[in-house]
Amino acid sequence: MSNGLVLRLWEEWFWPVLAAGIFISFWYFSVKWSGSKVFPSPLDVGAGISELATKGLLWRYVLDSLRRVGEGYVSAIALAIPSGLLLGWYPVAAAVVNPTIQILRPISPIAWIPVSIVLFGVGDMAAVFLIFLASFFPVAVATMNGVRNVPSMYRRAGRNFGLSPSKLIARVVFPAALPQIIVGLRIALGVAWLVVVAAEMIAVDSGLGYLVIDSRNSGKRYDLVVAAMILIGLAGLGLDSAFRRIEKMKSVRWGFRNEF
């Protein structure tokens, strides 16, 4: 910790749980005191979640969403990292393609929904395609910039050791660019999780996004809507902390020039 404050082991759990508890009780009492007949209290939402669990929908929906994110995300990475490496390695290619990428990049994947339904119909593929789009650009751009920022000293040293260009990329440039790539990967995962929820609201009939829209369509069931929102948050938290674990692995940290 930069400010010298060190949490003891029990505190690492205690304070976050306390904060969440305060938030939930604030929620509970606001619902109670405002006398809202529409917005559910935490107890209603808890009952909603257990209703989903007993119906067997809970895990199915969470896993469906995770699977879609996995498919789109992995295929995006498989394409984005090589193309990012190439573009970073050949600045001329980057100069040619970059303006197009910069135009495509700020288009929200949600805006692609009509196009993806036309291309892939209503179904899994449409949703996976949106996640692919959402993950591709952050990773490709981060990889490209990462490769560009590798100090030329590294490359020259590699060449002096007689590495062939392909080995130089695999053994020196890629690891050196990895810190920036990882930032891109993490951003992409966050965006992919945002997008899967939106995509599932339209294209498919399972998953957490579908749960939100399905609960909305079933009349006054805002307990289920909020339950779905909380599940989305929890699953997103799970994804992010899993990613942090990977980030901390030794082999990944090779390229971190400044320990932070």
Residues that bind another protein (CB under 8 A): 37-38, 117-118, 121-122, 205, 216-221
State in angstroms the smallest separation of the CB of 245 from another protein.
Answer: 38
* Closest separation in Å from C-beta 200 to another protein: 13
Q: Which residue has the tokens 């990462």?
A: 146
Q: Which is nearer to another protein, 11 or 205 (CB)?
A: 205
- Among 112, 133, 135, which residue's Cα sits nearest to residue 202? 112
Look at residues 224, 233, 230 and name the one whose alpha carbon lies nearest to residue 44: 224
Q: How far is the CB of 131 from another protein (least distance, A)?
A: 19
Taking the least distance from each CB to another protein, the nearer of 139 and 226 is 226
CB of 110 to another protein, least distance (A): 15
Nearer Cβ to another protein, position 221 or 253? 221
Write out the DSSP string of 195-237: HHHHHHHHS-SSSHHHHHHHHHHTSS-HHHHHHHHHHHHHHHH
- State the nearest-atom distance from the C-beta of 121 to another protein, in Å: 5
Task: Give the C-alpha separation, 182 to 202, whole Å.
Answer: 30
**One-letter amino acid of 194:** L
Tokens of 231: 């599940």
Give the span between the Cα atoms of 178 and 15, in whole angstroms.
33
- Whose Cβ is closer to another protein: residue 100's or residue 217's? 217
Q: Which is nearer to another protein, 116 or 145 (CB)?
A: 116
